[in-house]
Every structure is written in C-alpha cells, then in structure tokens.
C-alpha cells in the first residue's frame, strides 16, 4: 500500500492557483522530494497534506485511509517548518515534549519518549537550553526531535536545510538519510535546492506554477528530463534549436545550426520529426585534439575559465556564434585559445518546449 496518495488536488488563493490538479503516489518509506522554484506551490501542497489548509478539490489518502477532511491533529503526519517554529521560552526538552501532553501519556512515558527522540538526533547535551542558545543545526535537530517524538507515519519537511551553511547542510543531509533508514517512515521533503533533492531522494516531483511536471528518480530527472524547463532547472544545460529530419525514417538525422548534422538512433523515443530543442550537459562535452576524438566535434574559442576546485567550467564561444559551457577536470586550462569541443551522439537530449 502507498504511504500517501494525492488525487486531483487543487487549492486556490483568490486568483492564484497555488496547487493545480496534482495527482501523486508516494511509496512507503520513501524519501520523496517536491522540488520547484519559489512560489510554485510547494509549501501549500505540504500544508494540504498536513491538514493545515483545506483543498478546494481532490482527495488525500494516507495508508489507504481518506484524510481529506480529517483535522491536522488527527493525521499521522508531522511537519517541520522552514523556520522550525520552536517555542522561544521553552527548553529543548520541553519543546520536544510539548506535543505529547495531550496524548494521555504518564510523565515517565513522556520523559522516556523525549530522551529517546533527543538521542536519535543527538541533541541530549543541550536539553536544558532555550532555542536562542542553540546553533542553526542544533535548532534544526530540536525541530526534528519534536516532530519525531510523535511517531508520525509521514514526516513533512518544509525547506529544513535552507537556513544552514554548506558544511552543516551536508551533515544534516546525512542525518536525514540515517533517520529515514533507521525509523522506516516516509519523508516528504520540500525544497527549491536541486542538490538537496538529488542527493537525498528516492523520487522527486518537479513543480512549476502549481503543477507537477515530472515525477522520477533523481537519475531519470537529470538524464531524461521531460522538457526544457525541467532540464535547465535540474542543473546546467546547454540548449540549442534543432530539427529532426526523417527523409529516411530508418535513418533519421538531427540538424543543428550551431553543432552540425548527424544521424540518430531511430529507436529513440524522442525522435519526432520537426523542430525541437537539444540539450547537452557541460559534463557531456570535452575538449578534443582532433575530429576523431568524439562522434561530433565543433570548433570554438575559450572566452573564460571558472575554477571550481575539483573541476573548471569553460565558457566557450562556438565558431558559429553560440556560447557553450564545458566541464573540464584536468589538466588546468588557460582562457583565450582555440579549441575543438566534442561530444557523443547518445549524450544529446532531444527536448520539447511543451509537455508530451
């Protein structure tokens, strides 16, 4: 049985359609991310799942039970808010215990649950501190413990890493994965950060303008995005106008003003004849010594090199005019020189502007 099923869910605020007819199935024990730019409706979707907003249309089913009209406090979900929403006047332990007071538990049971939750997120040494006496990471752990102490079936996380610096963010990513594996609960994680979504999730739903545009594994989304909008949102992508020509249907061709013309595999699912866009990730491109070093090569000129530590990003200008980004690992490379940019045929994504 799926942990969570959303069916044709919609929510409007005045003229804004924050969530527009979303249907999603989230498996048990998944780390499921909802990824999209600011204002696309991610938080509203999470609040609908939590019961903090009422949908205009659609249904929400958790563990096979219709929860659409069940109030938030009776849903088996718990939410961690972007700003953690800790009570400033309560200690870490009291913040964590707060949600248990209406659960008919004895003081001993509450203390045990709080101690267990603090151990789970490694916050015990700070149990007596107030939120303002904690670092961002410690506040985040307290919020996690406060949500987990209720033993939810689904943990809803609204951009919980966004306030953390890069190093802490990486530590907390590891913590979240460890917790998910250890607890066997379903995580629904909202973020606008592609890196967080790619490295944490089993599945990602990409949202734009209130709609869910593609749901897939991180690998599928990155390597087989459904359209240009998703392709460019999921990391850097060079895009060019092109045409699929099928004079000979057994041997179709791709024509691109900037990159040239080459035959493509007719069994590719994306080879509809006519205008298209093509995409090439910077890491699919390389600098070649000769035309024999890659399926397709095209001359250009390095304009600028951005050094990124483990690699460099080359900003090149093709001799036919377009600019192109090439990821380059070694050796170090100088700017302002003529180069030959090459790539393999199968690394070219053929993309549409519209959803199929």
Q: Which of 75, 139, 180, 192 binds ligand ATP (CB under 6 A)?
A: 192
Q: Site size for ligand ATP, by CB under 6 A?
A: 12
- Contact region for ligand ATP (CB under 6 A) — 37-45, 223-231, 293-301, 314-322? 37-45
Q: Which of 3, 42, 314, 342 binds ligand ATP (CB under 6 A)?
A: 42
**Residue 16 is a binding residue for ligand ATP (CB under 6 A):** yes
3-state secondary structure of 248: coil
Query: Does the footprint of ligand ATP cover residue 316 (CB under 6 A)?
Result: no
CA angle, 195 as apex, 201 and 212 as ends, to 5°? 60
Candidate ranges 38-46, 117-125, 287-295, 319-327; the one touching ligand ATP (CB under 6 A): 38-46
Q: Return the CA Rg of the chain.
A: 25
> What is the DSSP-derived secondary structure letter of residue 348?
P
Give the pair of three-digit tokens for residue 56.
């205009």
CB 93 within 8 A of CB 114: yes
Asked if 13 touches ligand ATP (CB under 6 A), the answer is yes
Q: Is residue 160 part of the contact set for ligand ATP (CB under 6 A)?
A: no
Please, are residues 31 and 178 in contact by the beta-carbon 8 Å criterion?
no
Alpha-helix residue ranges (DSSP H) falling in the chain: 42-50, 92-97, 107-121, 136-148, 166-183, 194-200, 218-223, 228-233
Residue 113: CB atoms within 10 A of its CB come to 20
Q: Could you say whether residue 205 binds ligand ATP (CB under 6 A)?
A: no
Q: Which listed range, 41-49, 116-124, 235-243, 298-306, lies at the site for ligand ATP (CB under 6 A)?
A: 41-49
Choices 32-40, 56-64, 226-234, 270-278 (CB under 6 A): range interacting with ligand ATP: 32-40
HSE-up of 147 (CA within 13 Å, CB side)? 30
Specify whether the CB–CB gap between 193 and 116 falls below 8 A.
Answer: no
- Least distance between ligand ATP and beta carbon 155 (Å): 17
Least distance from ligand ATP to the Cβ atom of residue 12, Å: 9
In the complex with ligand ATP, which residue's Cβ is closer, 36 or 252?
Answer: 36
What is the contact surface with ligand ATP in residues (CB under 6 A)?
13, 16, 18, 36, 38-44, 192
């Amino acid at each position: 049985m799926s942990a969570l099923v959303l069916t044709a869910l919609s929510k409007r605020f005045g003229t804004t359609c924050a969530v527009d007819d979303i249907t999603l199935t989230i498996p048990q024990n998944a780390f499921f991310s909802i990824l999209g730019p600011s204002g696309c409706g991610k938080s509203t979707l999470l609040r609908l799942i939590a019961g903090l907003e009422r949908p205009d249309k659609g249904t929400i089913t958790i563990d096979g039970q219709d929860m659409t009209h069940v109030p938030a406090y009776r849903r088996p979900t718990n939410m961690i808010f972007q700003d953690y929403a800790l009570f400033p006047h309560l200690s870490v332990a009291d913040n964590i215990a707060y949600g248990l007071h209406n659960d008919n538990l004895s003081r001993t049971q509450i203390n045990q649950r709080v101690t267990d939750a603090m151990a789970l997120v490694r916050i015990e040494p700070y149990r007596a501190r107030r939120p303002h006496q904690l670092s961002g990471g410690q506040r985040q752990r307290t919020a996690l413990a406060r949500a987990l102490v209720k033993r939810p079936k689904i943990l809803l996380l609204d951009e919980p890493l966004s306030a953390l610096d890069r190093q802490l963010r990486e530590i907390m990513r590891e913590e979240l994965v460890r917790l998910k594996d250890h607890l066997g609960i379903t995580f629904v994680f909202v973020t606008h950060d592609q890196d967080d979504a790619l490295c944490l999730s089993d599945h990602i739903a990409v949202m734009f303008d209130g709609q869910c545009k593609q749901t897939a594994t991180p690998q599928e989304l990155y390597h087989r995005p459904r359209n240009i909008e998703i392709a460019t949102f999921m990391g850097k992508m060079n895009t060019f106008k092109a045409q699929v020509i099928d004079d000979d249907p057994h041997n179709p061709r791709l024509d691109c003003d900037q990159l040239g013309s080459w035959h493509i595999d007719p069994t590719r699912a994306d080879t509809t004849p006519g205008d298209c866009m093509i995409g090439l990730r910077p890491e699919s491109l390389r600098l070649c010594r000769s035309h024999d070093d890659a399926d397709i090569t095209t001359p250009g000129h390095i304009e600028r090199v951005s050094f990124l530590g483990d690699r460099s990003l080359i900003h090149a200008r093709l001799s036919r005019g377009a600019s192109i980004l090439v990821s380059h690992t070694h050796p170090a490379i100088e700017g302002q020189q003529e180069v030959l940019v090459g790539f393999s045929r199968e690394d070219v994504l053929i993309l549409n502007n519209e959803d199929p």
